[in-house]
């Protein structure tokens, strides 16, 4: 859970670099309201329109008001539940509560009533949910085991802890996530002395020890703290993880995941970790570490030193708008399935959308592979979401060869590719060219477009949003982002899977070896698409599933 200005936040005043002693609780700042809370479900199927041109058609967002970090993500009885940081009273950060949306395919979402709402005594910050199948917590029954949420209580006036303090609390649901009750013994985990940046509990089951492991952060000390429990209510300290990777800002939303190494019998543990500021694209970003976990301590292997250039750290996404992603507990498929916030704290509060602000990225699944120097994560659109996207609209395809002459009318992809939301498979063979790419959401006169390109000599993919639409809302709205791809047998050929939505693009390059996720704000009438080639001819194969 991040703050819009962490360096000025009242909760950032206590330096967490001081020694802290773990203390356990056996016992069980709100912005002014601008409108009434949303309490009734909203109908699904909200679509972009000329009056709401940037509303996503294929991504989770709220009908109205502010949304950021995903929280309790859980799959149960055929339904995906996404809880998230939500302001039920306005379109900017504040009154932090848990919003709730549900889906059966990870593309079409229905907003539910607010799950847990902020009060003057306690805001509901980030956390996670697990199904307590054996009722180890005792909060349900063998016949009706509970959903259990671990979340951060951020205390205000007259709260259970001093104002500004953060600690971990429990809530539970006995009706499949519809309503929630707070545990009477909250908070269940605190630090001594209390800390203003102790947050973001994420729960992982550790099978060899038959206990749950909680990862949390002391955000401004760049420390992940780990605890264990057999009942989700009483927690014992395990260890700290720190001292490696990018440390230019707050560490947030950690998660420990065990993964198979592709084409191997080996297993490794992966630590996901968000950072703000200090990300690879500026502002918010997500790094990860691969290593071993022995039930007590996580040890990263081949991790970058804090003093190393950011390019030596491992990043989950090289765009500006992918943050606070964590996995969906209980999701089918065998691979970690992540949902992340499509935003960046450099400018998130200023993006020109109304009456809503903030959306999620498309859910993605992770694969762990052996890279050239170390183990690396690959990302792909989650299978169930991809299937929904591919069946949502008509498929169009085109094969063409384009030269460097900008007057080449053959480069225009035509009406078949002139949709605001589409899943594009783009293959380019640059044997004779230096650079090639595609222009999306292009204006009729060609002056505006989102430019996605591949440079053969540098082996870099770039997403350039500098001429893609409205950008004057923030000086920190960076113009472009790029990533170098690993060398392959033929650096002249590149494959891109591109999910274009009303105000976002996600580019998965070379089967997910690198991803760039960016938001942008095009004019409603700009729907053209074309390809281009520089310093030689390029062969293109383009397939599009329009939504």
The pLDDT of residue 487 is 83
The pLDDT of residue 13 is 35
The pLDDT of residue 411 is 92
The residue whose two tokens read 């084409």 is 263
Active-site positions read: 69
The residue whose two tokens read 């009908």 is 63
- Residue 141 main-chain phi, psi, to 5 deg: -150, 170
Neighbour-count burial of 269, counting CB atoms closer than 10 A to its CB (0-12 exposed, 13-18 middle, 19+ buried): buried
What's the predicted TM-score (pTM) here? Answer: 0.93
pLDDT tens-digit readout, 73-99: 999 999 999 999 999 999 999 999 999
pLDDT tens-digit readout, 502-521: 999 999 999 999 999 999 99
- Residue 11 main-chain phi, psi, to 5 deg: -85, 0
Chain centre distance of CA 490: 32
Name the β-bridge partners of 81.
Answer: 74, 102
Give dist(CA 277, CA 248) in Å, integer. 6
Give dist(CA 514, CA 467) in Å, integer. 23
362 closest CA partner among 48, 44, 60? 60
Q: Are 169 and 204 in contact (CB under 8 A)?
A: no
Q: How many CB atoms lie within 10 A of CB 264?
A: 12
Residues of the chain with pLDDT under 70: 1-45, 408-409, 489
Give dist(CA 10, CA 74) in Å, integer. 32
Task: At 242, list the tokens.
Answer: 């720190």
Chain centre distance of CA 359: 10
The pLDDT of residue 52 is 97
């Amino acid at each position: 859970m991040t703050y819009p200005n962490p360096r000025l936040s009242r909760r950032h005043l206590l330096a967490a670099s001081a020694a802290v002693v773990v203390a356990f609780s056996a016992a069980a700042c709100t912005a002014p309201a601008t409108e009434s809370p949303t309490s009734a479900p909203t109908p699904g199927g909200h679509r972009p329109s000329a009056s709401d041109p940037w509303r996503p058609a294929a991504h989770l967002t709220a009908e109205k008001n502010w949304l950021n970090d995903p929280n309790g993500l859980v799959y149960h009885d055929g339904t995906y539940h996404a809880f998230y940081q939500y302001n039920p009273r306005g379109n900017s950060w504040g009154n932090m509560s848990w919003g709730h949306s549900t889906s059966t395919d990870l593309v079409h979402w229905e907003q539910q009533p607010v799950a847990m709402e902020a009060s003057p005594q306690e805001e509901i910050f980030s956390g996670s949910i697990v199904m307590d199948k054996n009722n180890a917590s005792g909060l349900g029954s063998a016949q009706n085991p509970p959903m259990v949420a671990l979340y951060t209580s951020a205390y205000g006036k007259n709260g259970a802890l001093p104002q500004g303090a953060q600690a971990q609390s429990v809530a539970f649901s006995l009706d499949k996530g519809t309503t929630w009750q707070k545990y009477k013994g909250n908070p269940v985990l605190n630090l001594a002395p209390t800390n203003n940046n102790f947050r973001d509990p994420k729960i992982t089951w550790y099978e060899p020890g038959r206990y749950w492991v909680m990862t949390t952060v002391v955000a401004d000390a760049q420390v992940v703290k780990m605890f264990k429990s057999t009942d989700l209510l009483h927690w014992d300290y395990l260890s700290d993880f720190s001292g490696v990777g990018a440390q230019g800002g707050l560490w947030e939303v950690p998660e420990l995941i065990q993964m198979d190494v592709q084409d191997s019998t080996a297993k490794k543990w992966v630590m996901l970790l968000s950072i703000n500021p200090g990300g690879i694209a500026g502002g918010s970003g997500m790094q990860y570490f691969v290593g071993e976990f022995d039930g007590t301590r996580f040890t990263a292997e081949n991790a970058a030193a804090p003093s190393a250039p950011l390019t030596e750290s491992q990043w989950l996404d090289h765009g500006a708008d992918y943050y606070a992603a964590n996995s969906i507990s209980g999701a089918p498929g065998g691979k970690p399935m992540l949902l992340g916030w499509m935003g960046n704290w450099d400018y998130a509060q200023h993006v020109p959308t109304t009456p809503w602000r903030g959306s999620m990225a498309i859910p993605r699944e992770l694969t762990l592979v052996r890279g050239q120097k170390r183990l690396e994560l690959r990302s792909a659109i989650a299978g169930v979401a991809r299937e929904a996207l591919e069946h949502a609209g008509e498929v169009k395809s085109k094969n063409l060869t384009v030269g460097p002459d900008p007057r080449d009318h053959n480069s225009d992809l035509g009406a078949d590719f002139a949709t605001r939301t589409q899943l594009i498979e783009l293959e380019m063979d640059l044997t004779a060219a230096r650079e090639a790419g595609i222009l999306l959401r292009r204006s009729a006169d060609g002056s505006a477009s989102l430019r996605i390109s591949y440079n053969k000599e540098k082996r870099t993919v770039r997403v350039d949003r500098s001429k893609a639409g409205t950008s004057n809302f923030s000086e920190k709205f960076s113009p472009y982002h790029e990533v170098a791809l690993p060398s392959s047998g033929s650096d002249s050929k590149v494959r891109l899977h591109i999910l274009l939505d009303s105000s976002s693009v996600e580019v998965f390059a070379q089967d997910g070896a690198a991803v760039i996720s960016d938001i942008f704000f095009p004019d409603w009438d700009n729907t053209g698409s074309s390809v281009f080639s520089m310093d030689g001819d390029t062969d293109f194969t383009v397939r599009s599933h329009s939504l």
